[in-house]
Amino acid sequence: MQYQQYLELFLDFMQSGGFVMWPLFVANLFLWYGLGYRFHTLRRGKKASVRRLIEKHTQNIAKTKGLMDNVIKEALHVKDEISDKSYLRQALDVVFHKYEAEIKQYATLVKTIVIVAPLTGLLGTVIGMIETFDSLQAQALFTQGGGIAGGISQALFTTQFGLGVAIPGLILGRILDRKEQSLLFEFEQIKDVICTMESSNEIS
């Protein structure tokens, strides 16, 4: 019985703003899926510096925990396996490409929804306002309990919902974008440190 009541409340909520509410609802689901995926993939792991993590993995005293450990472990494996060290940097670029693609995944989706959601809500408001004034002209709106105020309130509901979708996505998306940029910078540090280590070994 409770599920049926919740379903009725949900349907009433979706009908309160017209047909535009359904695309906004679907966009909201995709938005939070993208945010959740990015939050999961952007978890760095240990808080130690890049150089310290590389030293631990070189000495085989580090346990794999998080993204940075996986990246460093695979990078060191490539360093040990490649025969021509002059191609080490290119080989690391190839390995790191899949990690870079992974942490960038759904970033464009999140940004697109953040931009489109308020515009979709505004479209719903414009459609609702047109219907409101059409009803006012036909004097049909005054037969409803809410009058013209109720019609305008209903029309503005889609804009409110669109902003409710976009604002959390904008804030969380910016935070995750900063984490992505930080990880990309540390990826470059890993490449530099490993290549420098190999150069030092050749000289000695």
pTM attached to this predicted model:
0.81
Nearest Cα to 153, choosing from 133, 128, 135, 134? 128
3-state helix, strand, coil in the chain (%, to 5): 85, 0, 15
Q: CA-to-CA distance for 21 and 35, rounded, in angstroms?
A: 21
pLDDT tens digit sequence for 94-115: 989 999 999 999 999 999 999 9
Cα maximum dimension of the chain: 92
Which residue type sits at 182?
S
pLDDT of residue 145: 47
The predicted pLDDT at position 100 comes to 93
DSSP string, 129-141: HHHHHHHHHTT-G
- Other C-beta atoms closer than 10 Å to the C-beta of 182 total 12
pLDDT along the chain (204 residues), means of 10: 78 79 93 95 85 84 78 88 82 91 94 94 84 66 52 77 93 95 93 78 50
Residue 44: per-residue pLDDT = 85
What is the rounded CA–CA span in Å between residue 114 and residue 112? Answer: 5
> Could you report the per-residue pLDDT of 52-70, keeping only the tens digit for each?
888 888 887 667 778 888 8
pLDDT of residue 138: 61
